[in-house]
Structure 1
Amino acid sequence: MVAVASSAGGIRALSQLLGALPSSFPVPIVVVQHLDPRHETVIADVLGRRSLMPVQLAQPGEQAQPGTVYIAPPDRHLLVGSGGELTLTTSELVHFVRPSADLLFESVAGAYGARAIACVLTGAGSDGAMGASAIRSRGGTVIAEDPESAEFRGMPDAAVGTGSVDFVLPLDEIADVLVGLVATRRA
Structure 2
Amino acid sequence: MNAQPIQAIAIGASAGAVQALLRILPALPADFPLPVLIVVHVPPDRSNALVALFQSKCPLPVREAEDKEPIAAGTIYFAPSDYHLLVEADRSLALSWDEPVNHSRPAIDVLLQSAADAYGPALAGIVLTGANHDGAAGLAAVADAGGFAIAQEPAEAQVATMPAAALAACPSASAMTLDDMIFYLLTLATT
Residue equivalent to 2:54: 47
Please say if 1:25 is aligned against 2:27: no
What is the CA deviation profile of residues 118-160 of structure 1, one whole-angstrom value per residue up to 9, with x for unaligned ones?
Answer: 0101111010000001010010001111000100111100111
- Unaligned 5+ segments in structure 1 are none
1:179 to 179, 182, 186: 186
Aligned residue number for residue 58 of structure 1: 65
TM-score (norm 2): 0.92
1:115 is matched with 122
Paired with 2:172 and 2:105, the residues of 1 have a C-alpha distance of: 23
Percent identity of equivalent pairs: 37
* Residue-by-residue CA offset, 1:30-68 (whole Å, 9 max, x unaligned): 000000111222110101122110111100011111110
Q: Distance in 2 between matches of 1:149 and 1:181?
A: 23
Asked if the contact 2:143/2:170 (under 8 Å) is kept, the reply is no
Match of 2:145 in 1: 138
Q: Deviations over 1:98-120 (max 9, x none)?
A: 00110100100100000011010
Q: How many residues align?
A: 184
Q: Does 1:6 align with 2:13?
A: yes
Q: What TM-score, normalized by structure 1, do the two folds share?
A: 0.94
Q: How far apart, CA to CA, are the structure 1 residues paired with 2:135 and 2:32? A: 23
Q: Does the 8 Å CA contact 1:141/1:165 hold for their aligned counterparts?
A: no
Kindly report the root-mean-square deviation, in angstroms, between the aligned alpha carbons of the 2 structures. Answer: 1.2
Q: Separation in 2 of the partners of 1:17 and 1:173? A: 10
2:83 corresponds to 1:79: no
Structure 2: any 5+ residue segments left out of the alignment? Answer: 1-7
